[in-house]
Structure 1
Amino acid sequence: MVRGPPVADACHGGKGRGERRSRQRRRQGMAAPGRTDDETMDTAYAPRLRGSRMPVGLRAPFSGRTWREFLYLFLSVPMSVLMFTYAITVLALGTGLLVTTLGIPVLAGGLAGSRALGGLERARARALLGLEVAAPEPPRASRPGLMGWVGAVLKSGASWRHVVYSLLHLPWAIFSFVFSLTLWTVGWALLAYPLWRWTFPAYLDQPGALMWGDGHGHGVYLDTPTEIGFTSGFGLLLVLAGPWVIHGLTQVDRVMVHGLLGPSLLATRVSQLESDRGVVVDTAAADLRRIERDLHDGAQARLVALAMDLGLAKEKLAEDPEAAAKMVDEAHGEVKTALRELRDLARGIHPAILTDRGLGPALSALSARCTVPVTVTVDLDRRPAAAIEGIAYFTASELLQNVSKHARATSATLDVWTNADRLMVLVADNGQGGAHTESGTGLAGLAERLDAVDGLLIVDSPSGGPTCITAELPWRG
């Protein structure tokens, strides 16, 4: 183990390891994959103009996002009426024709139309709510021809989910639009009450808005300064609450669009596994090419030269023993070099110390070869699965290589611990920072390889440093 200053603590404000782990867990939650565009309201209603100091709550009624969400609720009414009418019509028509040979094709065509309308709904949610929902998996016919397509559409769960969305969304669309319109209209009307109160004495011959009356000219009117101020203040509260209520209503729409108009959880998982399998295959192929290149350019070429030198030494053995002995001595040195290259190559494939003694000793040996002093701390009460252990080792190896080559650091730390059912690897340095996972970088490839095994790479590297990179892997012990 190579000791150095506690750089990881500096990355996190000098706090202890427990605090560092909790912060990493919070960062994990923030970076969790699969999130939709459901930012907090502070972010949603952030000011567009640089330097604005208006509180977030006062900006919300004028935010573009608020009006886009309100427009979404407004357009939901005619769109849901169209989808509901279409779904009821095709279901009734298809069911009624089931006694004939036309019923099944008509029902399948109706389901296909519902999928098309669902595509319009996803586009509307993407444009106005910022919600990215992929199209569901297309129907897969088990046999060619029209009847194969009809059977695939009828057996597709996504097709029936579109119909369910059409039936359920209409009552919700009517409620959400009417509620939000009433809330905001009343709020703005009450807020502006001091501006239009003059209409009551001018045209209705009463001092203000009537709150209660007995029908005989007696009643309670909003006409005193206190009552007018209270009315306007209550309207302001409704206006400020309107964006939050609208955002909450559209959250239900987000859930419905994502759950009923998007791909199923099983299809999403299958697609993710197919993508991960491609990454694994590409990574394995790249590793094989690297090993082949290292063998061809290194040990193999050295062994070929060694064989030629030994052949020449054999020819000179009888006529010039001294020259032959010198050539054999040189060949002996070449053998040592070739053995060292093969040993390094084998260590790059899978180091023996990792198999025999585990992550702690293997990472200590790895850090000893780093050009920067490294403090290694491994807190594991048992060993994870061999595959995860190997990935953790090579992740740490690549991160330490980046520290040596690019960080311009004077010290680094390497921490390994468990967090519930996850294996955490944290590499930190006091270098220049600026590391990122943009496409084309080594960290981008590392992030893809970790994602292939349901892992996660979190990079915290502001310009000027320090850099903290956390790799999270499933335990699978």
Structure 2
Amino acid sequence: MTSTAPAEAAEPLPPPRPPLSAQTWRECAYLLSGMPLDLIAFVYVLAWIYVGVLLSVTVIGLPVLALGLLGCRLFGSWERARTRALLRLEVEEPSPLRRTRGRGFLTWVWSSLKDPVGWRSALFFVVRLPWTVITFTVVLTAFFVAWPLLPWLARWLSNVDRALVRALLSPSDEMERRIAELESGRTTVSDAASADLRRIERDLHDGAQARLVSLAMDLGLAKEKLTEDPEAAARMVEEAHGEVKLALQELRDLARGIHPAVLTDRGLGPALSAVAARCAVPVRVSVELSGRPAEAIEGIAYFTASELLQNVSKHAAARQAEVEVWRAGDRLMLQVTDDGRGGADATAGSGLAGLAERLAAVDGQLAVQSPPGGPTTVTAELPWRERRPGASQKEATR
């Protein structure tokens, strides 16, 4: 008599499934690998503080503390990299060490001692070592005793580490991020100033300077012909007179592009009205300000409006435009509107993008609303800074 095996016994077994996910393995690796790094960093911080305090009565005490803070920054950078790799936590790097104004060794020491990033990194490794000992012990024990609970234990324990990293190793607050933005903005302003200087040099070299050189040569020839051919010399002098007028006009245009006198003497309203009069389309100007902002802010607002009106003339195909300026709390608002074709985009690498970067460098903003077919509204927002008393008189006498 033969017997047959049950049907279910002949069916293939399901494929084995890993008991732990990849994320759990990464979390376990993070919790176990933290022990050597935290132990080294903890010993380093204690030794550094001990030696620095002992030597603080000598001239090398403060430099030792300053160098120790740089080491704490380095340990913090390693920990952030480990957190990003194993916990998949995106931690921004803090701003670089800021230097106090001035040069020299003492200035560097003072800047380093005031570094909040270094001090927070030192505090992190002092606080974290006891916690690392606990997590190391719990995870290692769970591998042999409480295997089914390991995924939950690894997640809970690593969440505490995530919180510690965010609290002490991330940029401390909005201020640090703002510092980094302003440092980037300062570079943008410096590049823009260099570009403006190169433009002025090029305009002088190719324009007024070349014209004046030609004028000097013509006057030299006229001087030679004065006794031989007075009529020809008179014609050459007359031509030179016309060249002088053109050179003066070029110099006036160049000076107006640097900083117009009407802006210094009379403010934004008359200066923008002068710009509007030169625009290719009719422009209505409305300036409602009870006072004048700081010279730098006023100049930025003027050149922003000038560039926007140039864009209207060249690209908008508009019939009319409007410039409005007003104050809203601690902000100076500038708005340029036209009824042209629209389609302007500040993110497409155009002149609007450069304008937005320049405004951002002084804590300003640029908003563009330009649907296809128009109308286009560009709003610039600048910080309102009070004008120094007597600034107009000082500028006018320069």
Compute the TM-score of the two structures, normalised by the length of structure 1: 0.55
Note the C-alpha offset of 1:332.
1.4
Query: What is residue 119 of structure 1 aligned with on the other side?
Result: 81
Whether the 8 Å contact between 2:124 and 2:164 is mirrored in structure 1 is no
* Partner Cα separation in structure 1 for residue 233 and residue 167 of structure 2: 80
Residues 2-24 of structure 1 deviation map (CA, whole Å, 9 limit, x = unaligned): xxxxxxxxxxxxxxxxxxxxxxx
- Select which of 286, 295, 311 maps to 1:377: 286
The answer to whether 1:291 aligns with 2:212 is no
Q: Secondary structure at the match of 1:318?
A: helix
Whether the 8 Å contact between 1:111 and 1:153 is mirrored in structure 2 is no
Q: Secondary structure at the match of 1:463?
A: coil
The answer to whether 1:339 aligns with 2:301 is no
Whether the 8 Å contact between 1:414 and 1:425 is mirrored in structure 2 is yes
Residues 61-81 of structure 1 deviation map (CA, whole Å, 9 limit, x = unaligned): xxxxxxxxxx99989985886
Query: Which structure is richer in relative contact order (CA contacts within 8 A, separation 6 or more)?
Result: 1
CA separation of 1:441/1:413 partners in 2, compared to 1, >3 Å: closer, same or farther? same
Q: Secondary structure at the match of 2:345?
A: coil
Query: What is residue 352 of structure 1 aligned with on the other side?
Result: 261
- Select which of 441, 455, 461 maps to 2:370: 461
CA separation of 1:374/1:156 partners in 2, compared to 1, >3 Å: closer, same or farther? same
* Partner Cα separation in structure 1 for residue 42 and residue 231 of structure 2: 103
Query: What is residue 403 of structure 1 aligned with on the other side?
Result: 312
Structure 1 segment 78-227 matched on structure 2, within 5 A = 115-122=77-84, 133-134=92-93, 137=96, 156-160=118-122, 162-163=124-125, 166=128
Q: What amino acid is the match of 1:326?
A: R
* Partner Cα separation in structure 1 for residue 39 and residue 367 of structure 2: 51
CA separation of 1:297/1:113 partners in 2, compared to 1, >3 Å: closer, same or farther? closer
Q: Secondary structure at the match of 1:423?
A: strand
* Partner Cα separation in structure 2 for residue 298 and residue 162 of structure 1: 62
* Partner Cα separation in structure 1 for residue 131 and residue 327 of structure 2: 45
Whether the 8 Å contact between 2:294 and 2:384 is mirrored in structure 1 is yes
Whether the 8 Å contact between 2:323 and 2:335 is mirrored in structure 1 is yes
Q: What amino acid is the match of 1:120?
A: R
Q: Secondary structure at the match of 2:373?
A: coil
What do you get for the CA RMSD once the two structures are aligned? 4.4
Q: Secondary structure at the match of 1:418?
A: strand
Query: What is residue 343 of structure 2 aligned with on the other side?
Result: 434
* Partner Cα separation in structure 1 for residue 267 and residue 167 of structure 2: 44
CA separation of 1:97/1:378 partners in 2, compared to 1, >3 Å: closer, same or farther? closer
CA separation of 1:110/1:469 partners in 2, compared to 1, >3 Å: closer, same or farther? closer
Whether the 8 Å contact between 2:26 and 2:86 is mirrored in structure 1 is no
- Select which of 258, 262, 267 maps to 2:170: 262
Whether the 8 Å contact between 1:165 and 1:256 is mirrored in structure 2 is no
* Partner Cα separation in structure 1 for residue 91 and residue 307 of structure 2: 34
- Runs of at least 5 residues in structure 1 that lack an aligned partner in the other structure: 1-70, 144-150, 171-249
CA separation of 1:467/1:257 partners in 2, compared to 1, >3 Å: closer, same or farther? farther
* Partner Cα separation in structure 1 for residue 48 and residue 219 of structure 2: 88
Q: Secondary structure at the match of 2:228?
A: coil
Note the C-alpha offset of 1:298.
0.9
Note the C-alpha offset of 1:289.
0.9
* Partner Cα separation in structure 2 for residue 166 and residue 393 of structure 1: 54
Query: What is residue 212 of structure 1 aligned with on the other side?
Result: none
- Select which of 187, 190, 207 maps to 1:281: 190
Q: What amino acid is the match of 1:134?
A: E
* Partner Cα separation in structure 2 for residue 72 and residue 162 of structure 1: 27
- Select which of 382, 386, 396 maps to 2:295: 386
Q: Secondary structure at the match of 2:122?
A: helix
Q: Secondary structure at the match of 2:341?
A: coil
Whether the 8 Å contact between 1:414 and 1:427 is mirrored in structure 2 is yes
- Select which of 227, 234, 238 maps to 1:325: 234
* Partner Cα separation in structure 2 for residue 427 and residue 410 of structure 1: 14
Query: What is residue 3 of structure 2 aligned with on the other side?
Result: none
Deviates more, 1:107-116 or 1:278-287: 107-116
- Runs of at least 5 residues in structure 2 that lack an aligned partner in the other structure: 1-20, 55-67, 106-112, 133-158, 387-398
* Partner Cα separation in structure 1 for residue 162 and residue 371 of structure 2: 34
Note the C-alpha offset of 1:385.
0.5
* Partner Cα separation in structure 1 for residue 209 and residue 248 of structure 2: 11
Note the C-alpha offset of 1:160.
3.2
Compute the TM-score of the two structures, normalised by the length of structure 2: 0.65
CA separation of 1:111/1:289 partners in 2, compared to 1, >3 Å: closer, same or farther? closer
Whether the 8 Å contact between 2:332 and 2:383 is mirrored in structure 1 is yes
CA separation of 1:432/1:260 partners in 2, compared to 1, >3 Å: closer, same or farther? farther
CA separation of 1:292/1:96 partners in 2, compared to 1, >3 Å: closer, same or farther? closer
Instruction: Percent identity, please.
Output: 56
CA separation of 1:73/1:458 partners in 2, compared to 1, >3 Å: closer, same or farther? farther
Q: Secondary structure at the match of 1:383?
A: coil
Whether the 8 Å contact between 1:133 and 1:258 is mirrored in structure 2 is no
Residues paired across the two proteins, number: 313
Whether the 8 Å contact between 1:83 and 1:114 is mirrored in structure 2 is no
Deviates more, 1:255-264 or 1:439-448: 255-264
Q: What amino acid is the match of 1:401?
A: Q
CA separation of 1:455/1:254 partners in 2, compared to 1, >3 Å: closer, same or farther? farther
Deviates more, 1:293-302 or 1:462-471: 462-471
